[in-house]
A = this chain, B = another copy of it.
Amino acid sequence: MTIQEAAERSGLSAHTLRYYERIGLIHSVRRDGSGHRDYVERDLEWLDFLTKLRTTGMPIAEMCRYAELRRMGDHTAAERRAMLEAHRDRVRCRIAELQQDLKVLDYKIDIYRGME
């Protein structure tokens, strides 16, 4: 699969895919005869997971660490799990915070309604 196809399917830009590879987020994408990247299904799955980490607010540096552990093999599973658990806690906190802020928005909107 070409970089354009991978971009469309992952929702990332081709620029971003190259950038992710450069910083080590996605490792050693296969090249075809002419040196062009050739993405496989497994790359797409990994990109989807990376995207979930990103959209939930994990910093790139932390994602790089996770990717590095993943490359190191199964013996890093516990550390990776710990990272995900810590991240999950952050996401839960974030959701709780957003839900609180939502109440304030609701309250404000009601006030505006009352004014009209």
Residues of A within 8 A of B (CB): 49, 52, 55-56, 74, 77-78, 80-81, 84-85, 87-88, 91-92, 94-95, 97-99, 101-102, 104-106, 108-109, 112-113, 115-116
User: B residues within 8 A CB of A49?
Assistant: 104, 108
Q: How many copies of this protein are present in the complex?
A: 2
A98-B56, A98-B94 known; A88 and B74 CB under 8 Å? no
A109 CB contact (under 8 Å) in B52, B85, B94: B85
Residue ID in chain B nearest A84 by CB atoms: B109
User: B residues within 8 A CB of A99?
Assistant: 95
A52 CB contact (under 8 Å) in B85, B88, B104: B104
Q: Give Cα A18–Cα B78 distance, bound, in whole angstroms.
A: 45
Q: Is the CB of B74 within 8 A of A115?
A: yes
